[in-house]
Amino acid sequence: QIQLVQSGAEVKKPGASVKVSCKASGYTFTYYPMHWVRQAPGQRLEWMGWINAGNGDTKYSQKFQGRVTITRDTAASTVYMELGSVRSEDTAVYHCARADITTYGIDVWGQGTTVTVSS
């Protein structure tokens, strides 16, 4: 079945970088874009960016521009999200989510990765 399995929880100090992975299975990886979405404790969902898994094109939220990088490894069917210069406000659960390239429908979510930023 279609699955997105994310890497485990991370604890980082302020100023560090964090890289979260999202391994896809059960479908043709390059056919579907992947979003990254985060949710701080008790807060709304927040869109961070997405990648065309076929050609690697990316687009980021203005809020994270310059601090976030989304990449993919087609051989490993894995998408990565790296967030740099983290601060306490970046403490959140980070999700990957698969989208359909024609309908833009999001249909599968990763289980989420908790990132905690603390000195």
Partner 1 sequence: QTVVTQEPSLTVSPGGTVTLTCASSTGAVTTAYYPNWFQQKPGQAPRPLIYSTSNKHSWTPARFSGSLLGGKAALTLSGVQPEDEAEYYCLLYHGGAQPWVFGGGTKLTVL
Residues interacting with partner 1, by CB under 8 A? Answer: 35, 37, 44-47, 50, 59, 61-62, 95, 97, 100, 103-112
Kindly state the smallest distance separating residue 9's Cβ from partner 1, in Å: 14
Kindly state the smallest distance separating residue 93's Cβ from partner 1, in Å: 8
Query: From CA 7, how far away is CA 113, in angstroms rounded?
Result: 6
Kindly state the smallest distance separating residue 40's Cβ from partner 1, in Å: 13
* Nearer Cβ to partner 1 (103/118): 103
CA 104 to chain centre: 17
Query: From CA 27, how far away is CA 95, in angstroms rounded?
Result: 18
Query: From CA 14, how far away is CA 75, in angstroms rounded?
Result: 33
* Nearer Cβ to partner 1 (5/73): 5
* Nearer Cβ to partner 1 (42/75): 42
* Nearer Cβ to partner 1 (17/59): 59
Structure tokens belonging to residue 74: 């087609």
Kindly state the smallest distance separating residue 15's Cβ from partner 1, in Å: 26
List of residues 6+ apart from 30 with CB closer than 8 A: 53, 54, 74
Which residue type is seen at 51?
A: I
